[in-house]
Structures are given as structure tokens and as C-alpha cells.
Amino acid sequence: MQVMKRLPVLLALCLLTACSAQSEKASPVPPFDYAPDSAEATPGRQGDIAVSSLSSVSFISSTSSSFSSSYPLHPTPYTLHLSVPFSPQAPLADWDALHEESCEEMSLILVHHFLAGTDINREQAETELLALTAWETEHGYPQDVTVQELGKIAEEYFGYHARVIEDPATEDLKRLLADGHPVIVPAAGRDLGNPYFSGEGPWYHMLVLTGYNEFFFQTNDVGTRRGEGYVYRFETLLNAIHDWTGVKEEIRNGPKRVLIIEKQ
């Protein structure tokens, strides 16, 4: 009789246990914790680093562990703009032989003023450009320079440290911008397709990346007075990146490199 009285209680306990087990099986358990800022979530890529023999300008492959440690692989903003001052390479609209070849120097001057936190007007830009080109002539630099040579000029003339990034991808350039670095880009100028260039455009050109949005890189393109904030599609700009080879008609054979200037 006592067993019969306890049977409903035992049945109830069994039902509760079964329901609890079923509830635990149905509870969703995430397979991993998402941590985009952790090293485990974004491991660095492997490679080597080569240092220039001409100066302290560093050559870093965009696929190297040195690149990913210097510029961590963190999520980049959807859109970004760096307030880099602007002047065309002919600040006073005098497109003579000197100013036609001054895209490298003006790109460097603009990044210098960004790092210094100063603006620049056209008269000041002209004065600084003439002083820099005169210094280059005195120190034996050619009319057209590679990004490595421009990095050496940045170190010797302004006292900065320069890094050359080799074979960058779109995401590498976006990451550098997100880390606060305007990017100096050497290019096969005629492959940019800028309608404001004179004629077909320059064989060899330099400009400054200042930001990006969903589809475009934003630039300060010193090759035109309309160059402030001028945009190029990612693919267009990336395909046009070529360093100086010494022969203008061979510019498309130039290696894909970009330049970063930093304070010491």
C-alpha cells in the first residue's frame, strides 16, 4: 500500500528529470567566441623583411609578419578620411618643366604638413617646393625618384622615418589609412584615367591616399588643381601602382610599392 502511494511521486520526479535533460539538449551553445581584436582571431601572415642598403628606409612585404606586427590586423572602419592639406604640384598654376616633374616632392610636403598638424596655402607650397627641389639638386637626386629615394629624402630633409610597403593589397592600404598613415603612391599615371590630367597624363606620377569609402580610395592627387579628395576605384588605383624604373615607357614593369612617412 505504501508503494502504491509513492508511485505518483516517483513518476513525477522521473518526468521532471526527463524534461530537464531535454531542455539542456535544446539550449544553443555558440561554437566559439568572436574576438576580432585578439591575436588569435586575426593571426599575422608570414614572410620576410628586407632593409634598404641606401638608408634606414625599411622595406616591408605586405605579407610579412613584420608588417602585421607593425600594423595589427584589426577591423577597419567602413569609411575613413584623413585631413591632409592639399596643393597641386604647380601651386601658382605655373606648369613649367620643374613643376611638371614635382609630384613626388609635393606629395611629401603634404604628408609633412599632416604630420606637423599644419595647413598650407599656395604661396607657402610654392616656396617649400622650390626649397626642396633645390636641396635635392644639391644632394644629387635625379628629377624622378623612386619611393625608396623619396623616403631617404624624407629622412634627411625632414627628419622622419620612412617605410616602403611592397605589394600591398586593398585591405593593406585601408589598414594603413585606418592607423593614421597617409600613403604616398607611385603610379603609372596614364593607367589612372584622370580626366583632369593634361593629354594622356604623366607616364610616372605620385599622389597621396587620404581615405576610402565602400568602392573608392580618396586621394590628394597633386597632378591637378581639382585633385583634393579625388577618388579612384580600388581596382583602378591598385592596378596603377608601379615604382619608378628609370625609363618612363617601362613604368608598368615597376614593382608595386607604397611609402609611409612617420615621426621618429
Is a pLDDT exceeding 80 seen at residue 247?
yes
User: Does residue 204 belong to any structural domain of this protein?
Assistant: yes
User: What pLDDT is attached to residue 262?
Assistant: 97
User: What pLDDT is attached to residue 50?
Assistant: 33
Is a pLDDT exceeding 80 seen at residue 113?
yes
Exposed e or buried b per residue across 144-165, where buried means at least 16 C-beta atoms within 10 angstroms of its C-beta: bbbbbbbbbbbbebbebebbbb
Rounded distance between C-alpha atoms, residue 141 and residue 144, angstroms: 8
User: Does residue 208 belong to any structural domain of this protein?
Assistant: yes
Is a pLDDT exceeding 70 seen at residue 72?
no
User: What pLDDT is attached to residue 23?
Assistant: 39
User: What pLDDT is attached to residue 38?
Assistant: 29
- Provide the CATH number for the domain around residue 200: 3.90.70.10
Query: Which residue type sits at 240?
Result: A
User: What pLDDT is attached to residue 75?
Assistant: 73
User: What pLDDT is attached to residue 58?
Assistant: 65
Name the pLDDT band for 76 (thresholds 50, 70, 90).
confident
Is a pLDDT exceeding 90 seen at residue 33?
no
Helix (H) or strand (E) holding 218: strand 216-220
User: What pLDDT is attached to residue 153?
Assistant: 98
Cell of 22: 531535454
Rounded distance between C-alpha atoms, residue 85 and residue 93, angstroms: 17
**Residue 106 lies in domain:** 52-68+79-262
Q: Which long-range contacts (CB under 8 A, 24 or more apart) does 194-198 make?
A: 194/221, 194/223, 194/224, 194/230, 194/232, 196/223, 196/224, 196/225, 196/226, 196/227, 196/230, 197/223, 197/224, 198/95
Q: Note the pLDDT tens digit of each residue in 136-192.
A: 999 999 999 999 999 999 999 999 999 999 999 999 999 999 999 999 999 999 999
User: Does residue 25 belong to any structural domain of this protein?
Assistant: no
Percent of all residues in the chain with a pLDDT value above 70, rounded to a whole number: 72
Q: Beta-carbon neighbour count of residue 110 at 10 Å?
A: 25
Is a pLDDT exceeding 80 seen at residue 18?
no
Is a pLDDT exceeding 50 seen at residue 207?
yes
**Terminal Cα distance for the chain, rounded:** 92
8 Å CB contact between 109 and 128? yes
User: Does residue 4 belong to any structural domain of this protein?
Assistant: no
User: What pLDDT is attached to residue 20?
Assistant: 43
- Sequence-ordered alpha helix ranges (H) in the chain: 2-26, 65-70, 97-100, 103-116, 122-138, 147-153, 170-178, 234-240
SS3 139: coil
Work out how many domains the chain is built from and give that number: 1
User: Does residue 248 belong to any structural domain of this protein?
Assistant: yes
Rounded distance between C-alpha atoms, residue 147 and residue 163, angstroms: 9
DSSP-derived secondary structure letter, 241: B
User: Does residue 18 belong to any structural domain of this protein?
Assistant: no
Is a pLDDT exceeding 50 seen at residue 235?
yes
